[in-house]
């Protein structure tokens, strides 16, 4: 055995590997587990804070490099993840949910539900346990977008069982309404429905529950923020001055409700030519990045204006499923990674 290859030496070498989001080394963060040494072969586990970690491959490569540098001839690293919770008080409404994230917008028509669906799928594809709750009580669109329109959930022990699709647990008022039925409700009924979609559904153990809110600053967003200790909110906007102005009002609402702002996603950022791939900016208003900077929020990324995205959603097959290797598919995954990283930073603070 190489005398340098002790567990202490391996851990000391791994202290050179820093998580770029958490700004600490992986040993101090408690990520390194089960160090085993067999001659010049070293194996260990790195347990990250999310399976959607955007720097997972980088950390693995750096860890392998520093251990090889102290004399190991073979380094076997198992990459795992355990999503940590925040210090925000848990609620009996959804006791098994580690993080509840609201997806909001100032106005309608910005593609908030499309972003919600594809972010949920992107997180689930990393191995995370994900739920998606459609709280847009006036216009529930998640069943159509996920290809489960017309399905009705089962019940067990006085709880509603979510519909499962593409590895995501789904619940929407749309499952409980008759086809084409309009919702004519005032504020208290909206608040009660949001509570029921949380309390009466068997969400089980989830790493992330994304909640697709109706646009604006009405009863649904306020009720959600008051009922559940939200990990935070993601704001979806488009590059229009009107959208940015109204988005600012949503930001101010969540600030008043002491809800953390996780970031801004810009949708319809530009038109990507299907032939040459060139992206042309169609709208000339304030960009999502400019909006995020104005309010001191992280900018999570931009999704282009592409007919395939809306077409696939209308056909009940989300873009990330229909076109997984497309440019926007890669961007949805990148945004999901940045969102997961932002949640991890807050959880480890």
Smallest CA-to-CA distance from 83 within 19, 126, 121, 133 is with 126
Note the pLDDT of residue 187.
55
Residue-level length of the chain: 349
Residue 49's alpha-carbon distances to 15, 140, 203, 263, 328, in angstroms, are 17, 32, 21, 19, 25
Domain 97-348 has CATH 3.20.20.70: no
DSSP structural state of residue 175: G
Would you state the pLDDT for residue 182?
Answer: 55
The answer to whether the 7-81 and 97-348 domains have the same CATH topology is no
Domain borders along the chain are 7-81, 97-348
Q: Provide the pLDDT for residue 175.
A: 83
Q: Are 154 and 161 in contact (CB under 8 A)?
A: yes
* pLDDT tens series, the chain, 349 aa: 456 689 999 999 999 999 999 999 999 999 999 999 999 999 999 999 999 999 999 999 999 999 999 999 999 999 999 998 875 556 678 889 999 999 998 887 888 999 999 999 999 999 999 999 998 877 788 999 999 988 888 988 889 999 999 999 999 888 876 665 555 455 556 667 788 888 889 998 999 999 998 887 677 777 788 888 889 999 999 887 777 778 888 888 888 888 899 999 999 887 777 777 777 777 777 888 999 999 999 999 999 888 888 888 888 899 999 988 888 899 999 999 999 999 999 888 7
Please give the Cα distance from 207 to 97 (Å, whole number): 6
- C-alpha–C-alpha distance, residues 64 and 76, integer Å: 8
Distance in angstroms (rounded) separating the CA atoms of residues 62 and 54: 14
For residue 330, give the 3-state DSSP assignment: helix
Identify whether the C-beta of residue 289 lies closer than 8 Å to the C-beta of residue 258.
no
CATH-assigned architecture of domain 7-81: 2-Layer Sandwich (3.30)
- Residue keyed to tokens 């101090």: 28
Alpha-carbon span 268 to 111, nearest angstrom: 8
Cα–Cα nearest to 204, from 145, 172, 164: 164
Strands 163-165 and 271-272: unpaired
**According to the model, what pLDDT value does residue 3 have?**
61
Distance CA 327, CA 315 (A): 20
């Amino acid at each position: 055995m190489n005398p340098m290859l002790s567990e202490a030496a391996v851990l000391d070498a791994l202290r050179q590997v820093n998580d770029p989001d958490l700004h600490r080394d992986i040993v101090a963060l408690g990520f390194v587990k089960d160090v085993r040494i067999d001659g010049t072969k070293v194996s260990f586990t790195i347990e990250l804070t999310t399976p959607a970690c955007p720097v997972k491959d980088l950390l693995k490569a750096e860890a392998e490099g520093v251990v090889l540098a102290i004399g190991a001839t073979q380094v076997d690293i198992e990459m795992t993840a355990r999503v940590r919770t925040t210090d925000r008080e848990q609620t009996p409404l959804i006791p098994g949910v580690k993080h509840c994230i609201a997806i909001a917008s100032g106005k309608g028509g910005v593609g908030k539900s499309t972003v919600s669906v594809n972010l949920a799928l992107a997180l689930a594809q990393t191995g995370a346990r994900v739920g998606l709750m459609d709280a847009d009580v006036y216009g529930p669109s998640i069943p159509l977008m996920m290809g489960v329109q017309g399905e009705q959930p089962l019940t067990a022990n006085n709880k509603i069982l979510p519909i499962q699709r593409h590895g995501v647990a789904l619940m929407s008022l749309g499952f409980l309404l008759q086809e084409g039925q309009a919702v004519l409700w005032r504020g208290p009924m909206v608040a009660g429905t949001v509570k029921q979609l949380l309390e009466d559904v068997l969400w089980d153990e989830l790493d992330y529950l994304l909640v697709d809110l109706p646009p604006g600053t009405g009863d649904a967003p306020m009720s959600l923020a008051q009922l559940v200790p939200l990990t935070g909110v993601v704001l979806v906007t488009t590059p229009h001055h009107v959208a940015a102005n109204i988005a600012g009002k949503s930001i101010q609402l969540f600030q008043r409700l002491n809800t953390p702002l996780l970031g801004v996603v810009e949708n319809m950022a530009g038109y990507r030519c299907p032939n040459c791939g060139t992206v042309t900016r169609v709208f000339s208003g304030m960009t999502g990045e400019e909006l995020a900077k104005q309010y001191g929020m992280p900018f999570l990324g931009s999704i282009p204006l592409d007919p395939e995205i809306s077409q696939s959603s209308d056909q009940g097959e989300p873009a990330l499923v229909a076109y997984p290797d497309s440019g926007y598919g890669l961007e949805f995954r990148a945004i999901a990674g940045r969102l997961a990283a932002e949640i991890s930073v807050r959880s480890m603070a």
